[in-house]
Each structure stands twice: as structure tokens, then as C-alpha cells.
């Protein structure tokens, strides 16, 4: 069977695109040898999700923040330390640095332009 697979076994979602005719809403068909039969009980939006492709991330934003180890570092020093300690590439460092900044784990001090880990202070 080809087409968008439905969560239900032996089923497909059909979503016709017609140029010269009124729109037909998506529907589900079930394979019953030798024909497909329309199954009105199933939701056409319940599609089978593809398996996650790619490998697991080797480094996290937490790994990057922990690399500061209480020190305030320039961007160059921070990059050098992280890449040396982990073996990560410079592009991985910069991608994680942006993500860690957006997550509020690290920030760059405006006065001395050095990166520091944000300490989480509990408030009541």
C-alpha cells in the first residue's frame, strides 16, 4: 500500500485534490481483499507518525552551561574550553550557545562581554 498511512493497520488516508470539481474532504479506506472500502469510523487526521530519523544529540545545552564551571569566559575562551573538553565542533558550540542563551541558562555580561552561567534563585 502507498499513500499516507493511517494509525490503523491496513488503512490509508485519502485526500483528493481536484481542479475542476468541488473539494472532497479527506477520508480513510481499509484494504479488504480484493478492494479498498471506505471506513467512516476512522479519523483521516490520525496518521502514522514516522520513526525519528537521525542520531541522538551528543551534547546538550546543560553540558554547555556546565562547561563554564563557575568561570566567566570570553566567547573565544568559552568555545575553546567546550570544544577541547568535549571534542565538539565550533558550529555545535555556537548552536548550543544560542539555544542555552534562549533557554536562560547562560548570558553574556554587557560590561565585560564575558559569558556566565545563570544561577537559578528560588522565589516565594
pLDDT tens by residue, the chain, 124 residues: 456 777 788 888 888 888 899 988 989 999 888 899 999 998 888 887 777 777 777 888 899 999 888 889 999 999 999 999 999 999 999 999 999 999 999 999 989 999 999 876 555 5
Q: How many CB atoms lie within 10 A of CB 121?
A: 5
Domains of the chain in sequence order: 1-46 (no CATH), 61-117 (1.10.10)
The model's pTM: 0.54
Contact 114/74 with Cβ under 8 angstroms? yes
Residue length, the chain? 124
Predicted confidence at residue 2, as pLDDT, reads 54
Amino acid at each position: 500500500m502507498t499513500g499516507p498511512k493511517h494509525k490503523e493497520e491496513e488503512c490509508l488516508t485519502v485526500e483528493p485534490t481536484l481542479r475542476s470539481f468541488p473539494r472532497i474532504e479527506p477520508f480513510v479506506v481499509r484494504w479488504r481483499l480484493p478492494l479498498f472500502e471506505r471506513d467512516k469510523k476512522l479519523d483521516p487526521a490520525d496518521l502514522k507518525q514516522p520513526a525519528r530519523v537521525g542520531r541522538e544529540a551528543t551534547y546538550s545545552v546543560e553540558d554547555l552551561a556546565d562547561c563554564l564551571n563557575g568561570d566567566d569566559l570570553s566567547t573565544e575562551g568559552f568555545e575553546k574550553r567546550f570544544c577541547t573538553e568535549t571534542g565538539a565542533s565550533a558550529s555545535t558550540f555556537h548552536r548550543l550557545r544560542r539555544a542555552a542563551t534562549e533557554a536562560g541558562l547562560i548570558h553574556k555580561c554587557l560590561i565585560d562581554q564575558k559569558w556566565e552561567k545563570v544561577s537559578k534563585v528560588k522565589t516565594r
